[in-house]
Amino acid sequence: MAIPHFGILLACFASAATAEPTCEVGTVADLNRPLIPCCKVPKGFYHCQLLDCSGDDNDTSLRVGHVELRCEDGCHTFGGSTWDPAARAKALCTVLEGVPCTGNTTFVFDGFPCVRYNGHQFPTAVLLSLFLGWAGADRFYLGQVGWGVFKLFTVGGVGLWWFTDLMLLILGHLHPADGSSWEPQY
């Protein structure tokens, strides 16, 4: 599906991002053409890859096309439930196929948040906790198998742990076991 040029330009003016991708030095929009530079495409029209340097292997690198990032540019710590409190690093971004733009479709996004998502959604966790929390379904969903088994065999701690976990979720104190953030809701 082709995206009209005016839609991209309108989305560009309407987007409010906290950080913007950086263009190569000398990248200028050609005012005689209706297309914008690929490095200026608004958020949502490109996919980014972060270099995970949080482990022991700091000799890794990430290469897409002619652009390469090394571990000194990557994420050393992950966390934060939103973009604001998270550490920031460089990411390699590629414009999605079918998005019309000029220039190189791969660019470096400096200041990309180091937040990891693994598909855990907050509304799903709350609903599981509300309706099946007595059986530990919420803890199993979050990857906390030990607590899930405990709640299953004690019928939610006779209702005590069911209510406690529901409150912990709603107040923001219960998160996925793998340290990932909640999947954003669009």
**pLDDT higher than 90, residue 52:** no
Q: Residue 80's closest CA among 129, 118, 117?
A: 117
Q: How many residues are listed for the chain in this entry?
A: 186
The listed range with the strongest mean pLDDT (1-5, 50-54, 81-85) is 50-54
Straight-line distance from the first to the last Cα atom of the chain, in angstroms, rounded to the nearest whole number: 21
3-state secondary structure of 153: helix
Q: Residue 71's closest CA among 83, 86, 54?
A: 54
Which pTM does this prediction carry? 0.60
Contact between 181 and 172 under an 8 Å Cβ cutoff? The reply is no
**pLDDT higher than 60, residue 10:** no
Contact between 38 and 104 under an 8 Å Cβ cutoff? The reply is yes
Helix 122-132 to helix 160-171 angle (10° resolution) is: 160
3-state secondary structure of 69: strand
3-state secondary structure of 186: coil
- Across the strands, what pairs with 181? 117
pLDDT of residue 162: 93
- Chain segment 73-105, per-residue pLDDT in tens: 778 777 765 555 778 888 888 899 999 988 888
pLDDT of residue 128: 96
Which stretch of 59-63, 87-91, 97-101, 165-169 has the lowest confidence by average pLDDT? 59-63
Residue carrying structure tokens 């990857």: 143
Instruction: Tell me the two tokens of residue 136.
Output: 């530990």
